[in-house]
Chains A and B, each alone.
Chain A
């Protein structure tokens, strides 16, 4: 799909000139959804279908590529092109697809085990290459489809079927990993943050390059309420901070507003109710600032709220553009391939 030449600022998607012709329903396939009732995946599927309709994307121009895991069943439920590949390898399949068919809007669906464990190598190389596609990482901090083993994002001490005495593995932070791998777009949202998730997905679409979105997703069977102390309605205003480009970083419940300021080269939570600080003391979010992105990526409870929205965005050439440009360049320089020349090579002789 064509992209605006410049990435949009913040979460606001630019107004599309042509009104979307398709509805969410058009993006729903005829297949029975087989996720557990109550699974967070339903919401993510629903928001994605809504967003694709709102973006006005023709169904045939959308290809969903996934790996293995609960989340990776996603393509079957989308009435678009879809490829349910093998465990961890969706980035490689998606790269091959996008390289030969750069006009497609490619959406990669993966999970914490798929992307960060078995597919960790492909994941970082995809981000490094900056292939123009969207990566939706459903992070539920557990292996669901294999029925409840700890994952590379499970917290230390996690008791699961495979760790009855508690996990001793230190977890990955997907956002920090993506930043380290050179991702050009990094955002975070959650299954229950309906509007915010849609906004993030749209921003991810409008970014040209690999757009990485970590989505907190509840597995109500094997790791229920994993994010409840962050995303529950009652606490989310205080435990999450919704980032907006160009706006001061504020959060907190109505009666106890708070903010984030930069002090002594560190981020710090400030109390905006006491009168000591005002919004003017808060740091203004700049999605293009990689140093700030690094600091935001490290903000963790209980000392900090968890940042939601677009943490970072930058522009870098996309892999498939350079990849395909070399063909054009070779044809310009050497002319279109002539099989006879190729077969004869530079040194041939004739026997009579």
Chain B
């Protein structure tokens, strides 16, 4: 604690705060500092970074607003919170674009220095929102944030622009006072990140913000959030992309394979490439390809050579990789394909989240071209899902699709670290033995259970053979145009994917065994679970079924679905999973759709549950 707080401290179970400013204001840094500090204080938390696609949109405009929302709690939480109670807005654009999220009577801390006529013009505002009734009903705390920062860093001889860039740490200082947070983590961060005089200036700005909050009359009290009662163990705060990268490394290490990562930079998947490129001592190689197609094809070449080829992308890149995925299906080589979904179609909303690639993941290739599809539910689940992808790809010899999304990729939460030694090793189908001694090699002879073919590496004496994208004759793998062979192979490739249902967990609903079943997949997990919890607390018969495996589905899925009177499927698309469920199981699965580039709020799902119960309960 940086001095003694002389104002009352109010205990809270959870609080949600939103930092919003210009892309260049350092809001993502401010948010992640607050996150790490809260994680180290033992809170459960969930974050939602929300930034524009433009690196630096014109300063002060609505297009350039970058936000970071975080919920911290002394209990288990699943989402970054529906509505912040505190919004720290660095300019008018940040205020008006985020005010709608704020809960009624919430607190707005605004940088009043940025409310000149010129600033209002940049934000396309005809009048000052602080004076025209826009902020009525909220507690507005105007702070001369730029001026105060300038004064605080005056001793360090920075230029005007450089002084102004310290103001995010001033804002962080206010937040740290408000929530009784310790400086230690951020102090170390500043020391590691900055050189003098910026080091001292940023430290001074943070302390000045804290002091200012302490003395300011409008802030009547501060808040404390006790450590959460989390499952005992060791934790770290982790984003989805980082967890995914670590999961891929863990999977390949446990399989004893080199990881070859072929990728072309694309938002919001690029951080996976950045992470993996730092893990070369884990026998990881990263290839920044000339395009998305080469990224996939190089990974296929690497898998042919005996490494595990992995490629990651987002929607537009997945569209480009389609033909290569067909080649991996046809040649039956292991491959992991990661799609960090973003708003589509076309370039769409590069930095916003969506779940509209389920169709392309399951169906989006020419020909009958089945691929297993799995999806992560939370940032830390990206670790498990990546490991699962490696396991499945090596088991069935083929490409596996992993779906995450922008919300999971950039969002973070505390991750209960797994015990490395208890993570099972993953067997591979690599072989150097002839499978038909005395006769012709049979590169497409299948394992009876998994239907997988052997993985024969070039360089193996006596096992020379040819593979390719033309249809294969069963067993020999020779080119075949035989009609019945083609049909047989189509069925075999389908059965091979279907057979994975034997090695994935059964579907298990959380909650009641009758009434309304809410079925979800991917990043909607948190909102759905919290909504179901609250509905059950209010005595409603509701259950939550979360699907991590979307192709094949768990074997008992139809049976579970039919147990419930009503099935609703919240998705950030126009009902892609609900259509699959209806087609496969003939159940009346009703879509609840939202395609705004923003995750579901708990309240939106809760309202849908209440609606179904009220009308048909």
Query: Chain A interface (Cβ within 8 Å of chain B)?
Result: 29, 31, 58-61, 63, 65, 68, 75-76, 78-86, 89, 91-101, 103-104, 121-122, 125, 323-324, 326-327, 329-331, 333-337, 339-340, 342-345, 347-352
Q: Which residues of A contact B253 (CB under 8 A)?
A: 337, 339
B285 touches A99 (CB 8 A): yes
- Choice from B262, B295, B418, B464 contacting A81 with Cβ under 8 Å: B464
Within 8 A of A (CB), among B438-467: 457-467
B297 touches A60 (CB 8 A): no
A84 touches B233 (CB 8 A): no
B40 touches A347 (CB 8 A): yes
- Choice from A61, A101, A326, A351 contacting B232 with Cβ under 8 Å: A351
Whole-angstrom distance between the Cβ of B519 and the nearest chain A Cβ: 31
Query: Chain B interface (Cβ within 8 Å of chain A)?
Result: 36, 39-40, 42, 185, 227, 230-238, 246, 249-250, 253, 258, 260, 262, 279-285, 287, 289-291, 293-307, 309, 323-324, 326-327, 331, 417-418, 420, 423, 457-470, 478-479
Whole-angstrom distance between the Cβ of B457 and the nearest chain A Cβ: 7
Given A58-B461, A93-B298, 5 more A-B residue pairs with CB atoms under 8 Å apart are A96-B260, A122-B294, A122-B297, A337-B284, A342-B249
B466 touches A335 (CB 8 A): no
- Choice from A84, A93, A323, A344 contacting B287 with Cβ under 8 Å: A323
Can you list 19 A-B pairs, Cβ within 8 angstroms, ordered by A? A59-B461, A60-B458, A61-B459, A76-B479, A78-B466, A85-B468, A92-B262, A92-B298, A96-B262, A96-B301, A96-B303, A324-B285, A330-B281, A337-B253, A345-B238, A347-B36, A347-B236, A348-B235, A349-B40
A351 touches B306 (CB 8 A): no
Instruction: Report how far A12 CA is from B462 CA in the complex, Å.
Output: 31
Q: Which residues of B contact A333 (CB under 8 A)?
A: 281
Q: Which residues of A contact B280 (CB under 8 A)?
A: 326-327, 329-331
Instruction: Report how far A104 CA is from B306 CA in the complex, Å.
Output: 12
A336 touches B281 (CB 8 A): yes
Q: Which residues of B contact A95 (CB under 8 A)?
A: 287, 294, 298, 301
The residue among A76, A101, A324 with the most chain B CB atoms within 10 A of its own CB is A101
Q: Which residues of B contact A78 (CB under 8 A)?
A: 466
Instruction: Report how far A78 CA is from B465 CA in the complex, Å.
Output: 9
The residue among B232, B246, B285 with the most chain A CB atoms within 10 A of its own CB is B285
B234 touches A92 (CB 8 A): no
B466 touches A29 (CB 8 A): yes
Q: Which residues of B contact A65 (CB under 8 A)?
A: 301
B420 touches A97 (CB 8 A): no
Known: A327-B281, A337-B283. A101 touches B458 (CB 8 A): yes
Q: Which residues of A contact B461 (CB under 8 A)?
A: 58-60
User: 6 nearest interchain CB pairs?
Assistant: A96-B301, A84-B468, A337-B282, A92-B297, A96-B298, A330-B280
B469 touches A100 (CB 8 A): no
Whole-angstrom distance between the Cβ of A81 and the nearest chain B Cβ: 4
Whole-angstrom distance between the Cβ of B440 and the nearest chain A Cβ: 8
A92 touches B293 (CB 8 A): yes
Q: Which residue of A lies closest to B460 (CB)?
A: A60
Q: Which residues of B contact A31 (CB under 8 A)?
A: 466, 478-479
A344 touches B466 (CB 8 A): no
Known: A326-B280, A337-B253. A89 touches B293 (CB 8 A): yes
Q: Which residues of A contact B309 (CB under 8 A)?
A: 96
Q: Which residue of B lies closest to A74 (CB)?
A: B466
Known: A89-B293, A336-B281. A97 touches B302 (CB 8 A): yes
A121 touches B465 (CB 8 A): no
- Choice from B36, B293, B306, B464 contacting A100 with Cβ under 8 Å: B306
The residue among A59, A97, A122 with the most chain B CB atoms within 10 A of its own CB is A97
A335 touches B281 (CB 8 A): yes
Instruction: Report how far A93 CA is from B298 CA in the complex, Å.
Output: 5
Q: Which residue of A lies closest to B457 (CB)?
A: A101
- Choice from B185, B290, B304, B468 contacting A122 with Cβ under 8 Å: B290
Q: Which residues of B contact A330 (CB under 8 A)?
A: 280-281
Q: Which residue of B lies closest to A68 (CB)?
A: B469
- Choice from B234, B301, B303 contacting A350 with Cβ under 8 Å: B234
B417 touches A348 (CB 8 A): yes
Q: Which residues of B contact A99 (CB under 8 A)?
A: 260, 285, 287, 298, 301-302, 305
Q: Which residues of B contact A96 (CB under 8 A)?
A: 260, 262, 287, 297-305, 309
B234 touches A344 (CB 8 A): yes
A-B Cβ contacts below 8 A, count: 212
A83 touches B468 (CB 8 A): yes
Q: Which residue of B lies closest to A324 (CB)?
A: B285
Whole-angstrom distance between the Cβ of A133 and the nearest chain B Cβ: 11
Instruction: Report how far A346 CA is from B307 CA in the complex, Å.
Output: 28
A351 touches B42 (CB 8 A): yes
Instruction: Report how far A110 CA is from B296 CA in the complex, Å.
Output: 19
A103 touches B260 (CB 8 A): no
Instruction: Report how far A336 CA is from B246 CA in the complex, Å.
Output: 15
Instruction: Report how far A329 CA is from B299 CA in the complex, Å.
Output: 22
Q: Which residues of A contact B289 (CB under 8 A)?
A: 92, 125
Q: Which residue of B lies closest to A329 (CB)?
A: B280
- Choice from B231, B458, B463 contacting A104 with Cβ under 8 Å: B458
Instruction: Report how far A100 CA is from B307 CA in the complex, Å.
Output: 7
Q: Which residues of A contact B258 (CB under 8 A)?
A: 100
Instruction: Report how far A63 CA is from B458 CA in the complex, Å.
Output: 7
Q: Which residue of A lies closest to B227 (CB)?
A: A351
B281 touches A100 (CB 8 A): no
Whole-angstrom distance between the Cβ of A113 and the nearest chain B Cβ: 16
Instruction: Report how far A81 CA is from B304 CA in the complex, Å.
Output: 10
Q: Which residues of B contact A61 (CB under 8 A)?
A: 459
Instruction: Report how far A345 CA is from B280 CA in the complex, Å.
Output: 15
Q: Which residues of A contact B457 (CB under 8 A)?
A: 101
Whole-angstrom distance between the Cβ of A64 and the nearest chain B Cβ: 8
Q: Which residue of B lies closest to A125 (CB)?
A: B290
A86 touches B469 (CB 8 A): yes
A86 touches B324 (CB 8 A): yes
Instruction: Report how far A86 CA is from B104 CA in the complex, Å.
Output: 58
Known: A96-B304, A99-B260. A342 touches B468 (CB 8 A): no
The residue among A63, A81, A84, A323 with the most chain B CB atoms within 10 A of its own CB is A81
B297 touches A85 (CB 8 A): yes
Whole-angstrom distance between the Cβ of A130 and the nearest chain B Cβ: 14
Instruction: Report how far A97 CA is from B302 CA in the complex, Å.
Output: 5
A323 touches B285 (CB 8 A): yes
B301 touches A92 (CB 8 A): yes
Q: Which residues of A contact B185 (CB under 8 A)?
A: 347
A339 touches B420 (CB 8 A): yes
Instruction: Report how far A86 CA is from B470 CA in the complex, Å.
Output: 9
Q: Which residues of A contact B465 (CB under 8 A)?
A: 81-82
A93 touches B285 (CB 8 A): no
Q: Which residue of B lies closest to A325 (CB)?
A: B280
Q: Which residues of A contact B284 (CB under 8 A)?
A: 327, 337
Instruction: Report how far A79 CA is from B478 CA in the complex, Å.
Output: 13
Instruction: Report how far A100 CA is from B234 CA in the complex, Å.
Output: 36
Whole-angstrom distance between the Cβ of B499 and the nearest chain A Cβ: 26
Q: Which residues of A contact B234 (CB under 8 A)?
A: 344, 348-351
Q: Which residue of A lies closest to B289 (CB)?
A: A92
Q: Which residue of A lies closest to B290 (CB)?
A: A125
Q: Which residues of A contact B282 (CB under 8 A)?
A: 336-337, 339, 342
